[in-house]
Amino acid sequence: MRARPAWLTHLMRVLALLALCTLALQIVFAARIALMNVIDPQSTTFQRSEAWRLLVEEHRIAWSQTWVNADRISPHLKRAVIASEDAGFSDHGGIDWDAIEKAWERNQRAEDRIEKLKQRQPARPVVAKVVGGSTISQQLAKNLFLSGERTVLRKAQELVLTLMLEALLPKARLLEIYLNNVEWGEGLFGAQAAARHYFRVDAARLSVAQAARLAVMLPAPKRFEKNPGSPYVLGRSATIAARMGDVELP
C-alpha cells in the first residue's frame, strides 16, 4: 500500500486536534449552562467587556446590577419584553427561522436602497441600519459567552449555545437570567437596576406603561437612555402595551 504523504498525516492530526478541542469547549459550555439551573450567573462576557471598555476609554468603572429572583420581577415586564423582543419565545426551540429570514430580506432591501442613494449622491455618507432576527435565547447565548464580533464562526457558536440553553434550561429560567443581565444603559444591567434608575421603584412594582418603556429601550439602550421619555419611546411603548395582553408567560 502506498504510504500517506507526511504533510497529509500532519494535516489530519491538526484537524483531529481542532475537532477534539472544539468538542471539549462545547462540553464546558454545556456544563456551565447546566449549572445555571441552580447557580445564578454573576456576570456575562458582554458585561465584562463593557466594564473593560469604560475603564480603558473613559477611565471609570460603571456597573450597576442587582440580581432578583423571577418572582420579584413584574409580570408586566416579562410580557413587555417578550412582546417587544420575541413574540414566539414560549413556543419556539430557540431559533425563529422565519424572523431570521424576514430580517435578512429587510437588510437586503435596505442595502439596495443605500447603493442607489450612493450612486445618486456619492459624496453623502450613508450607513444601512441592520435589522436583527435574534430570539431572546440567542441574545442570551451571545451575551453570556461570546464577543461582539460578527463572523460566521461566532454566529455558528451562538446557534449551538442557543440550542444548549433551550435543551438544558426551562423557558422561565432563561427569561429570568435574561432579565437579570440584559443591558438597559451604559453600565446598567438587569431589571432591578433599570427599574430603580429610570422609575425609582423595584422591578416587582413596575406598571404596564413603565415595563413597556423599558422593553422599547432594549434594542439600543445606550441611545434611548439619553432621552427615555422621547416621543418615539412613548409611542412605541403604547404599541407594546397593547400587545402585552396576548403574551403567555412560560
User: How much is the pLDDT for 13?
Assistant: 86
Which range marks the domain in which residue 161 is found? 8-96+133-246
Residue-wise pLDDT for 159-170, tens only, equals: 999 999 999 999
CA-CA-CA-CA torsion sign (45, 102, 179, 223): positive
- Summarize the confidence of residues 203-214 as an average pLDDT: 96
- Summarize the confidence of residues 211-224 as an average pLDDT: 93
128 is a domain residue: no
118 is a domain residue: no
123 is a domain residue: no
126 is a domain residue: no
The number of distinct structural domains making up the chain is 1
Residue-wise pLDDT for 66-104, tens only, equals: 999 999 999 999 999 999 999 999 988 888 776 666 655
User: How much is the pLDDT for 131?
Assistant: 44
73 is a domain residue: yes
Longest dimension (CA), the chain: 78
Total-model pTM: 0.85
103 is a domain residue: no
User: How much is the pLDDT for 229?
Assistant: 85
Give CA–CA dist 132/150, Å, rounded.
12
Find the CATH number of the domain harbouring 166: 1.10.3810.10
127 is a domain residue: no
- Summarize the confidence of residues 91-118 as an average pLDDT: 67
107 is a domain residue: no
- Summarize the confidence of residues 183-211 as an average pLDDT: 96
Residue 145 scores a pLDDT above 60: yes
Give CA–CA dist 220/129, Å, rounded.
12
For residue 152, give the C-alpha cell.
460566521
Burial class (CB in 10 A: 0-12, 13-18, 19+), 106: middle
